[in-house]
Amino acid sequence: GPLEEMTLPLYFGWFLVSAVQDNVRCTAMDFLKTLDTLEVFKKHLNEFTGKAEKEVDLEQYFKAKGTLHCTTKFCDYGKANGAKEYAEKQAVTDFYGSAFELSLSALFVTPRTVGARVSLTEEQLLLWPDDAEKEAESVVPAAASLPLGSRAHVTLGCAEGVEAVQTGFDLLEILALQQAGQQGEVAEEMELGTLAYFGEGRWLLSLREPMRIPAFFSSFYG
Ligand code: 2AM
């Protein structure tokens, strides 16, 4: 009946401890503030605005999307493929409510989304669905050939009208380019790390020091 169907959440994931959410948000905001002042960014500004020489305030351009988390499995209250199987996985039931440390290893920006790449440990990969990358294949054809966990990220903001699910696709696109041998054009050495440009408005800041963030594995019902 309807009650049974409601027992599965909208999604499972790691939820950043609220005390560090502001930290991560501030780091991202500082990055955006710096990015849109860089000459190398301005040179490619039309990829964001559609027009040459217009200014863009990236902090306004991206809208926040609620509580910061790294989705492991989008269940859509049970309607998504494999939702029930995921919820019943041994690791999922064992680790439900447990504390983890997430490693945020890069920040990325595209005309659609801004996010943080999460580099998962072997233990964290136990909670990662086997088909998370393959599921993105229709959007990012090379996704299925990327290592497990490649899609792991925290959505930090989306452009007007863009859904959060896009953030993972944007990350996979950049990683697929890297896998194909494109290391991106080194654009700037920043305090936080090295900024590389991958064309079509795609920017990746590899952090010198990954951010280690406490997070709880849990679920969100909405
Ligand atoms: P996100 O993981 O990129 O932030 C609620 O919409 C949450 O589920 C968001 O965090 C969103 O994206 C994620 N989400 C929505 N649809 C999804 C899908 N089809 N596959 C994976 N994650 C999805």
**202-213 residue pLDDT tens:** 999 999 999 999
Task: From the CA of 135, give the closest atom in ligand 1.
Answer: 20
Report the alpha-carbon distance of residue 76 to residue 165 in Å, rounded. Answer: 12
Contact 200, 109 (CB under 8 A): no
pLDDT in tens, 49-69: 776 657 889 999 999 999 999
- Taking the centre of ligand 1 as the mean of its atom positions, its distance from the CA of residue 73, in whole angstroms, is 8
Checking if the pLDDT of 9 tops 80, the result is yes
Q: What is the pLDDT of the chain when averaged over all its residues? A: 94
Residues paired with 193 in a beta bridge: 207
pLDDT at 5: 52
Catalytic residue among 73, 112, 151, 153: 153
> What amino acid occupies position 30?
D
| Ligand 1 first shell, C-beta below 6 A | 10-11, 71, 74, 155, 164-165, 167-168
pLDDT at 53: 59
Annotation says 44 is catalytic: no
Annotation says 69 is catalytic: yes
Instruction: Give the whole-number percent of the chain exceeding pLDDT 70.
Output: 96
> What is the complex's ipTM, to 2 decimals?
0.99
Six-digit token string for 99: 């504390």
